[in-house]
Structure 1
Amino acid sequence: MNFTLPTYTPPDFTSPLLATAPIVTFDKVKKDGVAPTNYHATTIFPEYFKLDIDKWELVAQSRMDSVVVYTTDGRLDVREFRRLKKGDCVVVGRSVNGEEGIYVHTQGFHFPEEERGKFSFRSSRSRETAFSIDYDQLYGLLEHDRREGRIIWVVGPAVVFDHDAREAFAKLIRQGYVHALLAGNAMATHDIEATFFGTALGQQLYHQATIASGHYHHLDAINTIKAVGSIEQAVENGVLKEGVMHSLVTNHVPYVLAGSIRDDGPLPGVIGDVYEAQDRMRAHTRQATTVIGLATQLHTIASGNMTPSYSFDKQGNVRPVYFYLVDMSEFAVNKLADRGSLIARSILTNVQDFIVTLQRGLKKRASTSPE
């Protein structure tokens, strides 16, 4: 199946309402972290602001539930409330159809494959849904965005609890399908445990047998890396020889390990400050063209809140950001889809099976594609 990005149609700024709309209003921040009264809060949609009599500007690298600041060098910058500084000029106004120089464009993308009548059976996604076409569409998307976009993965520890899934995901990294990875201490710890001991939480990866004293393994893994100094140093010294973290380091793929109150250790490099972790994660999500969340509900929701529904291709054209949610739980994927993404796709399956199927499918397509 060939992949083509959907067409984006910008607003008609010659329409009477938008042509006669007033220039957007700004108000200054009077106290750090406190937005002016009547501030405009951003959505996931493309948002335009009228800066001059005939100039509407689309804000770039947006995120929901933030404010828009007009910078001293004449740019529109989307910022979290906590980043506001006294004197910042913030967009104010809560009408979003042009009445206050603000236009939220909800109908920019056209997806013909999603057209259907007012009534249809099986329109929601459940365990009974057939996902074959989703895999085919995802193969095409990942092949396209490996070259033309930026693919961000949000990964839970279940991905490294299985021998074949862990190997498949490491191959995806080496093959260029991972441009950044967002995870927590657990995923990295159990991946490293697998390298050192062949187990995850003391259970053998392939046979699933519980190993005597295996409950020490993840702690020993953390202790070993801390003794070396860092994951990168462990790779350089030959202590860490394979696995997901090894593939990330050797292929120079950036990753963010966000800490949790329940963490063991944690590993060196895990970020304990939640807002520093958020900043590091957003540095990647704001550039994302595809995000894939694997069996990690809260981490994926957090990433989704930082990801707009649109981005720009290399030619500067507006394109959608695709968001895939993979989990065995209908509740989890529906909860994630409810964040409001235009392009949220849920795939209900065992995450280990998903990764293995995905990697094999991409390999098969690569072997049969013309030179």
Structure 2
Amino acid sequence: MTHTRTVELDGHIIDSGSMQQAMGIVMDLGGDFDIEKFDVGRQKEDTSYCRMTVSADDEDGLQEILHELHQIGANLTDPVDAHVEPSPADQVVPVGFYSTTNHPTDVRYDGEWIPVEDIEMDCAIIVEETEDGARAYTKVLNSVEEGDLVVTDEAGIRVKPPERPRDSSGPFGFMQGGVSSERPSESLIGEVADALRETKKEGGNVLVVAGPALIHSGGGDALARLIREGYIDMISAGNGFATHDIERGLYGTSLGMDMETMEHPRKGHKHHIYTISEVIRAGGIEEAVDEGLIKEGIMYECVKNDVSYVLAGSIRDDGPLPDTITDAIEAQNAIREQAHQADMVLMLSTLLHSVAVGNCLPSTAKTVCVDINPATVTQLLDRGSSQAIGMVTDIGTFVPTLAEKVLDETDE
């Protein structure tokens, strides 16, 4: 017995490759498809529409195909209300719960489509009835409470992956995805600068995810300048990043190396732990700035310009600084709050932190990942942050060039 369902795709489905991808999914999983309707957009601004019947030999095979199609935005033509089940206990979700993508998502409830708030990947969807009607929002599994109405399977779910522009026009036209080590860095950095200015012009929020290599490579002054001039709204980093930034201001070294001479002064290897000790003695980074201990650098500019920062701890941290969040769940929640506010994200030379923040971002956030190691960028993309573009280049060159193009060209 053949089992069939009908799905539809709408948008720039030819340019984005989703039409071809949908056909490939069906064939790879042993199913068949029949195109019932296919309207092709003939102008650049026109969208296309496809309705296809998908079939498989058994119900389980069909559901597997529909699941994969659903991830790329192919939705059922005959939607029903989403299935919801109460959570049986805290941090326990019903079997077969719907696990979110990072794409904009709607849930059908009581015959109405409801947008899911704070969308991010690998979460449960909770439906809550309020005096103003039903609302839907995401929860990570450790936040689910007994009695929460959790959406199960994929019925009544509509996913809308963001589409790539058909050409390079517009402030984010350069964001065609993928990893680039061959495109001219100078011109691409200029396009990132244009996107950064446009984001701020439109009132958006810019989040920087940074690793210690930014300090070691000499890019700290340029990032501090961008913060001072109002182009950065949030910083997400680790204990090491803040420590070496402050160490540079106190001792002129980063990880014990003199930033001017590139030599290792006597006792330089102890400078980072001396730095942590002095900040602990002051009571924290803000207190150290207020008393004049910290007089320059990225963390100094964050304090002086009310730029929020989250320092997430790890098992390898020295100290750590008083501001470092050592509870992993608490750090996740703080990062998640930043990610949900971000309209553009610059990920600068930090693999694990970039992937962690990427997991919390909706696919609508413009994301640029820069690292000398191409594995950082490819791992971010493979993990699901498909909206990101990657640049394989030296972070010590990228950040100063970006600051120059953003600030110096703005002054002209």
Range into which the TM-score falls when normalised by the shorter chain: 0.7 to 0.9
Aligned match for 2:399, one of 355, 361, 366: 355
Aligned match for 2:328, one of 274, 278, 282: 274
Distance 1:283 1:7, change over 3 A: farther
- CA distances 1:35-84 after superposition (whole Å, capped 9, x unpaired): 1122111001111111232x212212211000000124232110001101
Structure 1 residue ranges without an equivalent (≥5):
1-5, 95-99, 116-122, 311-320
Which residues of 2 match residues 204-353 of structure 1 at below 5 A? 204-310=258-364, 321-353=365-397
In 2, Cα distance between equivalents of 1:214 and 1:325: 31
Aligned to 1:32: 90
> Are positions 1:156 and 2:214 aligned together?
no
Aligned to 1:102: 157
Distance 1:213 1:7, change over 3 A: farther
Aligned to 1:46: 104
CA contact (8 A) 2:239 2:324 kept: yes
Aligned to 1:78: 138
Q: Deviation of residue 126 (structure 1)? A: 4.7
One-letter code aligned to 1:346: G
> Are positions 1:173 and 2:173 aligned together?
no
CA contact (8 A) 1:7 1:109 kept: no
Aligned to 2:38: none
Q: Deviation of residue 202 (structure 1)? A: 1.3
> Are positions 1:66 and 2:126 aligned together?
no
- CA distances 1:280-316 after superposition (whole Å, capped 9, x unpaired): 0000101111111111100100000111112xxxxxx
Q: Deviation of residue 159 (structure 1)? A: 1.2
One-letter code aligned to 2:127: Y
> Are positions 1:367 and 2:411 aligned together?
yes
One-letter code aligned to 1:152: L
- CA distances 1:111-162 after superposition (whole Å, capped 9, x unpaired): 11279xxxxxxx9635333234422221121112223211111100111124
One-letter code aligned to 2:115: L
Q: Deviation of residue 340 (structure 1)? A: 2.6
CA contact (8 A) 1:162 1:206 kept: no
One-letter code aligned to 2:397: D
In 2, Cα distance between equivalents of 1:198 and 1:47: 49
- CA distances 1:85-125 after superposition (whole Å, capped 9, x unpaired): 1000011113xxxxx2111223x43411279xxxxxxx963
- CA distances 1:155-201 after superposition (whole Å, capped 9, x unpaired): 001111244x2111100111111111010010100111111100011
Higher relative contact order (CA 8 A, sep 6+): 1
Q: Deviation of residue 7 (structure 1)? A: 8.8
Per the alignment, in what secondary structure is the counterpart of residue 331 of structure 2?
Answer: helix
Quote the RMSD (CA, aligned, Å): 2.3
Query: Percent same amino acid among aligned pairs?
Result: 34
One-letter code aligned to 2:138: V
In 2, Cα distance between equivalents of 1:328 and 1:34: 41
CA contact (8 A) 1:322 1:344 kept: yes
In 2, Cα distance between equivalents of 1:338 and 1:160: 27
Question: What TM-score, normalized to structure 1?
Answer: 0.85
In 2, Cα distance between equivalents of 1:280 and 1:136: 31
Per the alignment, in what secondary structure is the counterpart of residue 170 of structure 1?
Answer: helix
> Are positions 1:202 and 2:202 aligned together?
no
Aligned to 2:56: none
CA contact (8 A) 1:259 1:274 kept: yes
CA contact (8 A) 2:220 2:298 kept: yes
One-letter code aligned to 2:213: A
Aligned match for 2:239, one of 185, 210, 214: 185
Per the alignment, in what secondary structure is the counterpart of residue 125 of structure 1?
Answer: strand
CA contact (8 A) 2:217 2:395 kept: no
In 2, Cα distance between equivalents of 1:287 and 1:169: 20
One-letter code aligned to 2:403: Q
* Greater C-alpha radius of gyration: 2
Structure 2 residue ranges without an equivalent (≥5):
1-43, 51-74, 170-176
Distance 1:131 1:260, change over 3 A: same
In 2, Cα distance between equivalents of 1:110 and 1:160: 33
In 2, Cα distance between equivalents of 1:109 and 1:127: 23
In 2, Cα distance between equivalents of 1:37 and 1:343: 30
Distance 1:135 1:39, change over 3 A: same
Per the alignment, in what secondary structure is the counterpart of residue 77 of structure 1?
Answer: strand
One-letter code aligned to 2:145: K
One-letter code aligned to 2:368: Y
In 2, Cα distance between equivalents of 1:269 and 1:103: 40
